[in-house]
Structure 1
Amino acid sequence: MKKLFKLPLAYQILIGLVLGIIVGAIFYGNPAVETYLDPIGKMFINMIKMIVVPIIISTLILGVAGTGDIKQLGKLGGKTLIYFELVTTVAIVVGLLAANIVKPGVGVDMSALSKGNIDQYVQTTEQVQHESFLDVLVNIVPSNVIQAMAEGNMLSIIFFSVLFGLGVAAIGEKGKPVLAFFSGVADTMFWVTNLIMKFAPFGVFALIGVTISKFGLSSLLPLGKLLILVYAAMAFFIIVVLGGIAKLVGFNIFFLFKVLKDELILAYSTSSSETVLPKVLEKMEKIGCPKDVVSFVVPTGYSFNLDGSTLYQAIAAIFIAQMYNIDLSIMQQITLVLVLMITSKGIAGVPGVSFVVLLATLGTVGIPLEGLAFIAGIDRILDMARTVVNVVGNSLASVVMSKWEGRFDEQKQKTYFQTTEEA
């Protein structure tokens, strides 16, 4: 037992994942699995959510106050949003091309597919569709910052933290005790993060066990072609597209995989980017990205740079159209790209965001919304892959922005690489 806990965290999480799959498969359809394991999984997710907001606020205030230059922050924000828009557009195009070439929905026997319940997503979509783009912009500015923190409204939290950090920098000496306080908060929360991560293998075991026991491995077979295509497209996007971007800025994408191996396995297992946000912030700073860049780019990316989600949405939309024998014209697919670009930004952070985006999008090009019920059963398995792409995309974005600003610390990267090699 002692040897098991001496294993690196990545291996412990993998063991939890495999055991969860085995338990879920053995006790498929048994409600006792959900009764006993679901609370464990929820406790782990809640513990992560508990620390995300304090970490973002403290690190962002420290980073912004350390910079203290509103023009520099404005430039960083503008460049970041342009980069996010370009990369997510490429992700949508890759998804459309993959679905049009492979045609995963052609010849699918709809009678062999089981329908999932998408009522909860329909209700959320109806609320979202009443919001205009201007409403989204207005909601970035919080009327009550405590409420924004309680709801985990990431963009509002970032907006407040940036202004607060600038205020601390502006008052000079008087702001030093405030900085000392938030520095202590950040260090404390990272210590708490490391403690919570020891519980990760149990959380992963519970979450994946419940998923497999609910849907079973057999639910994957009728939609196998879609599943394989989504995973292949995600791998292509990470290695070729993101790898190409990394090479352009003089960075190695495989080094990033090595740095974030624990976080990527955890993100994959839990289907949640939030579970790894604290450690991603910590590690990206350790490999050479400035604190203010990391603490701004990564959390903002969780709302504006969901590469994996947008890629999946494009594939899923074409899959459903093919399933119903609907031949979308080039203009309809261009419309789909434009609508996905806007919709995916407008409702970022909403639970089940990929389903909500698709529900808000499919009707614009005449695709039946009911088709989503056929892929609801394997959505969790697909979500695992798109979460990994989201994490890699946002982590790389912080490197790209640091390099673009000329502030990436190459020495830190070399030191981190040497340390990991020795370990």
Structure 2
Amino acid sequence: MYKRYKEVSLILKIVIGIIVGAILGIAVPSWSFIDILGKLFVGALKAIAPLLVFFLIMSAISKYRPGAKNHFGTVIILYLSATLFSSMAAVAASYMFPIKLVLPGAMKIAESAPKDLGTVVTGLLTNAVSNPISALVEGNYLAILFWSLLIGSGLRMTSKATKHVVSELSEAISSVAQNVIQFAPFGIVGLLHESLSKTGIKGVMAYGQVLLLLVGTMAFVYLVVYPLMVWVMTRQNPYPLTFWTLKTSGIPAFFTRSGAVNIPINLKAAKDLGLNEESYAISIPLGGSANSGGAAITVSIMTLAAANTMGVQVSIFLALLLCFMSAIASTGVSGIAGGSLLLIPMAASLFGISNDIAMQVVGIGFIIGVVQDSVETAVNSASDLLFTATAEYADSRKEGNPVDIRAAIKAAGNGKRKAGVPDEVSQPVESERI
């Protein structure tokens, strides 16, 4: 039965959960026993999220190899810059359009939240060097990030077998998290019922404001910020490539909500553009974690919404720190649906926001995730293809062999390879290499 349940689209299940939760919250608000579903779901997320973040980042750092060739350095710079710029755009949008959420119990805890910069910075530095075992138990995401980076760096000097074990542990924990997220529809029923019974329809309507801000920021980043980056690198009109990648990769990713599922689509599109296979065979799969601008936007906006709700004064210093932390953490985000939401508690800890409050924000994220996660995945996946192509075109320009991007796109649309690309580059990429 569970196998057949998993085969049903998660989007459909979440939509059903939202409908059922809304009906029960309005019709029978006194049935408080329904709230236990939300508490169980949030509790499971709180348990698995620290392990997931720790092993994902540690595994990613351990597999890093310097000296990569074939446009790889340019791709990495574009990926990391795009993620950082996305986070900065999200912070700017949150300053321009501040949003408050209705979180049960938030105001009681808000009184103990640090208000001055000195207290926050002192707590930040102290928490970062906490015992890593205690950090995993207590959900101290700053310490988890700090120690996972250090341990991952140390693992770079170990054998391939050791790195393989760490990678498999990371995959196993991701699988457990995926199974937990499969029960999101039931958790949403409980969370939505509790929200409606305690805050009414007005409180839930605030979720729509957050969703609008998230989608609007992602659209701005992909249609304005990313094209500007492409123009700086190639000195050509960026919009033909921007719209082509959005159509070719973004639309399928929107409906699948899985960057992993979209990797073969991006590989085929990169081959159609006549790109170097030795470059895109690595950069496209890597983009699933290293290029996470959409995730950085989600983490930043949801975290600042929580800070506004708690009455925490966000200084410029903390805002910049949030940008860097969101960008770094997002590069290790899981490829599972809703994976970016699990990074919110770590970012929220910057402002002294408790794990309990942060997990309520994560719950809101799952409620709006039907649209938010689809748009986020579309931005992430389409930009993998966009920046892979941009890196190669930029390097070709530096070498004095500029590529006509419009002609390359036209050839790709007609099923023709770019002139001068050898046949072996156009062969399908083997699954082992993926």
* Range of TM-score over shorter length: 0.5 to 0.7
**Percent sequence identity over matched residues?**
17
Q: Does 1:110 align with 2:103?
A: yes
Equivalent pair of 2:70/2:278 in contact (CA under 8 Å): no
Structure 1 gap ranges (5+): 1-15, 35-69, 114-118, 154-206
Aligned partner (choices 239, 245, 248) of residue 259 of structure 1: 248
Give 1:77 deviation, angstroms.
3.2
* Aligned positions of 1:285-296 closer than 5 A: 285-296=271-282
What is the distance in 2 between the residues matched to 1:76 and 1:226?
Answer: 37
Deviations 1:180-239 (A, max 9, x none): xxxxxxxxxxxxxxxxxxxxxxxxxxx999755652588753422111111111111111
Residue in 1 aligned with 2:222?
Answer: 238
Equivalent pair of 1:88/1:341 in contact (CA under 8 Å): yes
Higher helix share: 1
What is the distance in 1 between the residues matched to 2:146 and 2:320?
Answer: 23
Equivalent pair of 2:307/2:353 in contact (CA under 8 Å): yes
- AA of the residue aligned to 2:74: K
Residue in 2 aligned with 1:143?
Answer: 160
Equivalent pair of 2:250/2:382 in contact (CA under 8 Å): no
**TM-score, structure 1 normalization:** 0.60
Q: Does 1:314 align with 2:300?
A: yes
Aligned partner (choices 160, 181, 188) of residue 215 of structure 1: 188
Equivalent pair of 1:85/1:305 in contact (CA under 8 Å): yes
Give 1:357 deviation, angstroms.
3.2
Q: Does 1:404 align with 2:404?
A: no
Equivalent pair of 1:98/1:233 in contact (CA under 8 Å): yes
Give 1:355 deviation, angstroms.
3.9
Equivalent pair of 1:21/1:209 in contact (CA under 8 Å): no
Give 1:17 deviation, angstroms.
8.6
**Structure 1 residues 210, 362: closer, same or farther in 2, change over 3 A?**
closer
* 352-361 or 281-290, which deviates more: 352-361
- AA of the residue aligned to 2:296: T
Residue in 2 aligned with 1:88?
Answer: 83
SS at match of 1:131: helix
**TM-score, structure 2 normalization:** 0.58
What is the distance in 2 between the residues matched to 1:385 and 1:130?
Answer: 30
Aligned residues: 305
RMSD (CA atoms): 4.1
Residue in 2 aligned with 1:196?
Answer: none
Equivalent pair of 1:286/1:416 in contact (CA under 8 Å): yes
- AA of the residue aligned to 1:259: T
Give 1:309 deviation, angstroms.
0.8
Give 1:240 deviation, angstroms.
1.2
**Structure 1 residues 343, 149: closer, same or farther in 2, change over 3 A?**
closer
Aligned partner (choices 137, 147, 166) of residue 131 of structure 1: 147
Residue in 2 aligned with 1:116?
Answer: none
* Aligned positions of 1:11-410 closer than 5 A: 23-24=16-17, 73-74=68-69, 76-105=71-100, 108-111=101-104, 123=139, 125=141, 128-129=144-145, 131-139=147-155, 143-144=160-161, 147=165, 150-151=168-169, 214-215=187-188, 221-248=205-232, 249=234, 250=236, 251=238, 252=240, 253-260=242-249, 262-268=251-257, 272-345=258-331, 347-349=332-334, 353-380=339-366, 381=369, 382-406=372-396
What is the distance in 2 between the residues matched to 1:300 and 1:379?
Answer: 25
What is the distance in 2 between the residues matched to 1:278 and 1:305?
Answer: 17
